[in-house]
Structure 1
């Protein structure tokens, strides 16, 4: 193995074509999808310390699985381009090769928790973590003889229009709830509170930027790096850095500029009636109370997005957001528990009531 780092996707593609493909004599799909920093294109030499090496998924008809598994087991070389082809697998609990041979449908359900070809209602979209959607839509496909894997990736490429609008209105709702809290903390001199709420608002700005650009966001380890790939980051990153690192009043001014920019960019999407981004005093909504700190007109975006939703059940749902907005969709939730399925049931029940 040389000193120059080879990205995992490139290694997997070479491994498939030169070492694995000759062992498979039936129609199939070949890819590197699922978990792993290399699937997202964020792997570095540090990634090689666990669960990294020559690997590929082979997806085919059930009747071919055992024969192909046998040929792979007997025919794989022990070393490929300087990398061992058998290494410790957390899932298997032992050293083994990492050519996963499975029926296509079984693998899709294992990764996503459902088969989107059977249809996904709004609840299924809302309860599926974006990291899990990235497991199917990121990565690289090396071969797809019958086109079914490509079809699945296209079905999952982005949210249906109503769900997209509801996630964005939930993002604006969260911003509208958070910004006046920061203003109150500034007023009372709560330095820690200001910093925490500044960081929260920066995160909410970034989430809304992902949604506006129709890009799923990954879990926290790669959230900032993925944000850096958005077109919006050119404008927003300097403003968010100024908000996080600057002194007052410059920090507040940077946050306000970021939120005004998001409002203008919403109008560029052309999916609702235009809303003029604006700042004004915070209206509490109780006893006519108005507080002097300035807040963006987030509620106007909430209402115009709500008006664009055609499904009355979704339109009337309390704007708690999708699973990634409602809770921390970390590795335990994304990969190791049935919480996404539970959340799907909760969303479904909420929209029945």
Structure 2
């Protein structure tokens, strides 16, 4: 982990410098293919940066932030679209922050006495509970040899959800304290989803949804309108979006595991793309009276996501031994904190 920390110190300046270059490009190169050509070296750099790290937490987080989100934002930026182009007078620090972090600035954010409001206390309580739940899960894993493998898989699902919530909350806290930005939430109570469309479109990892819509969904929708007409054009657009999402998840998995991909994780998203496409088709064909009530569709949706995640998504993490590596990193972090605590206590007694 010490080597990864040193690599992180070396990588951060290169990321900032490359984004300064992109900010400078905006003023000199008009949007279009020409600007894209100037941005391609940066996009390639961000694809290779995660390979500099060995920690599964660092490679996964940096791969998600740079190779996926930042690159997709730069692709939009090349054509004067997306969050990097939506604010013409955006400052350089904000440009860098929005580019390399999952940040989506709230529109017309409320202020009190000219200051950005503090985070909602209820949100802080929720994050504290999730952090506590994550700690409990880590303790339960010590007894994994006595727990059914399927139950462990289900625990992994909540582990990933809690970890993502906490990581994104930390990013929001840094943006709030350093730049006064109040960010839109990245999750919206996914366990309350009433359909796959509700889960993927309005509740789960909303930053990914907002970046996939202009980069994949909208262009595919525009092309499909000329083929199948405006009524059914959303169906291939939705399916294509899930295929791209699956391939990007496969890339993040490769960063973390460094094993040849089997594309089972891609099949997880393809399957959800198929079922969501069918769901949208049925909604368009049937009236509201023919749809399932919420108390039925809700458990079915969450159950389907969990079942397919346990069958297709999580086994890839286990194949790459990401769970084993993650637990080793937790142990190393715990040992480091223990050594620091002992050192501080020892010095205080001198």
TM-score relative to the length of structure 1: 0.25
User: Which structure carries more helix by proportion?
Assistant: 2
TM-score relative to the length of structure 2: 0.25
Larger Rg: 1
